Amino acid sequence: MNQLMRPAHRIRDPIYGYIWLTDAELKIIDTPIFQRLRRIGQLALTKYVYPTAEHSRFVHSLGVLQAATNIFEEVLRFNPELREGGKNDLQQDLQLLRFAALLHDIGHMPFSHAAEKFFLGEDISHEDIGKYIIQNCTEISNEIQKQNISPNAVANLLKGKQTQALAILKKFISDEFDADRADFLLRDSYFCGVKYGEYDYIRYAGSFRLIDNEEGEKAFAIEKGNLHAVEAFLLARYHYYLQVPYHRTRKGYDIVLERYFRDLTERNHLPDAGVKADKSNPEIDFERFQFFDDYTIFEQIKKDMDRGNPWAKILMRQDRLHPIFDTEKESEGNENDFLDLQEELDSAGLKKDQDYFTFDKKVEVHKILEKSDEKGESVYPVVDKNNDYKMIGSILDHSSLLESTRKKPAHLRRIYVTTFSKPMAEKALSNFTQRIEARRKRKKEGES
């Protein structure tokens, strides 16, 4: 239980046992805009690969609130000097953080990230929509204000300018090591029935300290004795990305989903989200937006399947894309094969993004690429409790694992074909394979 705020309500959760909520948080959760998240899947069409992955953005949002609270209280436990500012200030900081954690996904589109660019365009994101909702949906903003907290401060924790104090709070919910990732790794792994995203949550949550950097500002640091917990977290995330979001079959459905949204856009049949996606002046029709969810899109998909739309048929899981090329090792040979096979498919009369599709993505173990930032300060500094918690360098200085995997991502390169195009694609693949084998044979003979 949260000892600093002592919230009155609790709900059961398979990850944390209980998630504790205040009256104000419960009122926000009960608003139609927040309840909409029950109808936004956390992992889109991953359930077509892992059938139990039916959980929603709603339960993830509650989980991030709990994870952010746990990490905040662990930092407080190991930094008792922070209590000198007074209990009331800490309660306000924690409540601000909890509101932001709870509302961090409030602006998500149906099917999460796959739909975002079609409904919002390239210049606006779900964070911008979330920010607008927090500031302008009175059912939410009024509850925040009743706690003597500015809705603008909550919104700016999601996206926008922060004071130095708010920038520290933002790291709890949006950073390389944050409550968002802490929750979705455990929750998605649990509901998918896989082990790839599991890690020692209790040890991880207690891994962080606040220190004064060279400019006298508060900064996040990692306690040296917890480096293995942090490494395990990053490795869990890496394996999770490869086996869940970028799973070969699941990614095929993501590709079709994007192709279907493009088809809807071209036919001017894209459902109305109730969002005016203007970066300088966005507007939301809350009455319409509260009903805009995965079910809205599925109703359109069902109608289009009846009309014979091939993409809708796949999205109803009556067909699928077929991978004919799949590699994750970074090499010049793999890159050349990836490009040459596309040329072979083009020569066979197959059209990219219609008959065949490509996926090209680098997946890093972590994104900590440098030991110091542009100011010369250590990136993710490490402190030693046996040396009065003094900074002893960057995480890359003390983790041989992270240093050895820096800038060495897996490189996923895949080619998928439709069922209709599969026979022609397989013939093209056979010709391509024979030509490659003949080339390698000549090279080997020349070397001997």
pLDDT digits (tens, 9 = 90+) for 159-175: 888 777 788 899 999 88
pLDDT digits (tens, 9 = 90+) for 127-183: 999 999 999 999 999 999 999 999 999 999 998 887 777 888 999 998 889 999 999
Place of tokens 């397989």: 426
* Beta-carbon count within 10 A of 365 CB: 21
Query: Could you give the residue ranges of the DSSP H alpha helices within 123-247?
Result: 126-136, 138-146, 151-158, 164-173, 179-192, 201-205, 227-243
Using CA atoms, how far residue 219 sits from 54, 111, 380, in Å, is 38, 35, 9
Provide the pLDDT for residue 371: 65
Give the residues of the chain that fall short of pLDDT 50. Answer: none
407 by DSSP, 3-state: which?
coil
Q: Is 39 exposed, middle or buried (0-12, 13-18, 19+ CB in 10 A)?
A: middle
The strand pair at 283-284 and 275-276 is best described as antiparallel
Torsion of CA 18, 19, 24, 30, to 10 degrees: -90
Provide the pLDDT for residue 232: 96
Provide the pLDDT for residue 375: 57
Question: How many residues are given for the chain?
Answer: 448
Q: 181: closest CA among 131, 118, 240, 128? A: 240
Residue type, 92: Q
